[in-house]
Amino acid sequence: MLSLFTALLGIGLVPTGVFGATLLASHYNGQLYSLSLTTTGSTGKLAITSQSTGCGTTPGWLEYYSDTKQLYCFDESWTGSGYIAQFTVADNGKLSMTSQLRTSGNDVHGLLYGGPEGKSFVATAQYSPSTITTYKLPLSGSAKLQQEKFTLSARGPNSRQDVPHPHETGLDPTGKFIIVPDLGADLIRIFKIDATTGKLTSCPGGAASPGDGPRHAKWWKSADGVQRVYTLNELGNSVSAWNVAYPAEGSGGCLTLTRAQTISTYAPGKKGGPTTKAAEIRVVGNFLYASNRADQTFGNQQDSIAIYTIDAKTGAIAWQEAANAYSYYPRTFQFNKEGTLAAIGGQTSSNVAIVSRDPATGKLGGLVATLNVGSKGRAGEEDGLSAVVWVE
């Protein structure tokens, strides 16, 4: 059933004070920001309510768990050391750090996995060291559990594919496998999880096309059980759909991925420029979204979000349209639980843009609110806004 807000939004009659929300954002200046959103009609206002530190010098990824109100922040520091930090999130978004672990740095992604509740261990990806590392919770000096180092037998076709570059540690819907899109190796690495010990065992990976540079992935499942994984390919400015096959129950076998489809993050007949880089991917219902950095499709420093439809039976994807991201270098974006709003984080413009969404058509609409958060970045550099998440 649609909420009152969703129903009224659909007919343009949102009364004053009907909706409020809290978001969290991270910036490469070392700060974490708590934000409040209030709406009046089709417009809204964002405000910074508090700031925090504790995630090192370059916080690059935020993972929020609504059931426990815990936030995990991962430091992308390129200096040879960094941090993972855990925070409790108050109802007003204020952060209180509860633990912190010093790491070797360059963590571009991380999440929890394994154990009775799926939250006993942390898996992280290190872009330049070509490693993934796991830790046992709680975070402490003795938490490090396992590290896997990757190598290449030959360089890839893109100049950035000099070494493996794992970019994400993604958990499958069953919680039994972790997949790691590797931008440098054109590979979706697959690991089987021992839920008791947290140990990861390598499985044969899924091969992307040469030069794709897979960065992030999202899962989808049809009503009758057809499973798909969609990957965002940063170097190829494309998205791929993968067929998923699970092992027989109790066999101890591996999940397998087979690439079925790859299409551009631009409309048919169009392509990105020499500095464009696809960044993030999201799935909401039967719609897929991907952000493009530095394409300026909608004017000066106004990049795009590519929208695709997902066939409800087969999982095949088709181009729908490009929408205004209302930001420059949209590195991060996330939808609220109702699917009525998108929070888009412009890395270089260093703004959080709240954009309306029609749940029926999947299309993004007008700008509801925007706020500059921290100092602006430089195009193509590791500065500016890094991540934004809803607190729901």
pLDDT tens sequence across 244-279: 999 999 899 999 999 999 999 999 999 998 999 999
Higher pLDDT, 10 or 201: 201
Query: Is the CB of residue 125 less than 8 Å from the CB of residue 109?
Result: yes
Query: Is the CB of residue 175 less than 8 Å from the CB of residue 192?
Result: no
Q: In the predicted model, what is the mean pLDDT of residues 314-322?
A: 98
Average pLDDT, the chain: 94
At the top level of CATH, the class of 106-264 is mainly beta
- What pTM value is reported for the model? 0.94
Q: Which CATH superfamily is domain 1-49+274-392 in?
A: YVTN repeat-like/Quinoprotein amine dehydrogenase (2.130.10.10)
Query: Tell me, what DSSP letter sits at residue 166?
Result: B
Name which of 173, 174, 169, 175 is nearest 188 in CA terms.
169
Digit-coded pLDDT (tens) for 91-125 = 999 999 999 999 999 999 999 999 999 999 999 99
- Compute the 3-state secondary structure of the chain and give helix, strand, coil in percent, each to the nearest 5: 0, 50, 45
**Position 62 confidence tier, pLDDT thresholds 50, 70, 90:** very high
What per-residue confidence (pLDDT) applies to 19?
58
Query: Is the CB of residue 66 less than 8 Å from the CB of residue 75?
Result: no
| Structure-token pair, residue 28 | 């490469």
Q: How far apart are the first and last CA of the chain?
A: 18
Q: Do domains 1-49+274-392 and 106-264 have the same CATH topology?
A: yes
Q: In the predicted model, what is the mean pLDDT of residues 298-322?
A: 98
β-bridge partners, 73: 62, 85
The Cα 335–Cα 373 span in angstroms is: 19
Digit-coded pLDDT (tens) for 133-143 = 999 999 999 99
Digit-coded pLDDT (tens) for 187-218 = 999 999 999 999 999 999 999 999 999 999 99
| Structure-token pair, residue 32 | 């974490």
Q: In the predicted model, what is the mean pLDDT of residues 42-69?
A: 97
What per-residue confidence (pLDDT) applies to 11?
37
List the chain domain ranges.
1-49+274-392, 106-264
| Structure-token pair, residue 342 | 């998108």
Query: Is the CB of residue 191 less than 8 Å from the CB of residue 131?
Result: no
